[in-house]
Amino acid sequence: MYCKNCGTENPDKALFCKECGAKLNEEDTVKYATASNLPASSKKKTMDTTPISMWGYFGYEILFSIPIVGFVLLLVFSFGGTNNMNLRNFARSYFCFTIIVVVLFVLLLGSLGLSSSGLY
Ligand SMILES: [Zn+2]
């Protein structure tokens, strides 16, 4: 990289210019500064991490398995309807699981329909 002060070429990892002693990697230091500030600022935004009890998960599982109503709740919890990270993650994983089951179900029905239509 080149020194911004005098234009001398310096090794990329050099912190200071070998010619004039000016500080190099200005952008990197700024990046590190913002990166070190990030955890502090993001801590304010971090979600509620209160653990959900075993019965809590059990209850939500039953809730999510209710047709239509459960699916709506699942969508709400998955996309910001809750401030609890554990609940959101659980809702998202359940959402993925639901999609896989639905896709498999549709595929199964499709293959059954094909085979039956082939027979008759
Ligand atoms: Zn220089």
Task: For residue range 25-84, list pLDDT tens digits in order.
Answer: 755 545 555 555 555 444 456 778 899 999 999 999 999 999 899 999 999 999 988 889
- Average pLDDT rounded to a whole number, residues 9-35: 75
Alpha-carbon gap, residue 90 to 77, rounded angstroms: 9
Long-range contacts of 93-96 (CB under 8 A, 24+ apart): 94/60, 94/61, 94/64
What protein residues have CB closer than 5 angstroms to ion ligand 1? Answer: 3, 5-6, 8, 17, 19-20, 22
The answer on pLDDT for 85 being more than 70 is: yes
Q: Count of CB atoms within 10 A of residue 24's CB? A: 22
Question: What is the structure's pLDDT at 41?
Answer: 46
How many angstroms is it from 34 CA to the middle of ligand 1?
A: 25
How many angstroms is it from 35 CA to the middle of ligand 1?
A: 27
How many angstroms is it from 82 CA to the middle of ligand 1?
A: 53
How many angstroms is it from 17 CA to the middle of ligand 1?
A: 5
The top-scoring range by mean pLDDT among 7-11, 14-18, 92-96, 109-113 is 92-96
> Which of helix, strand or coil describes residue 9?
strand
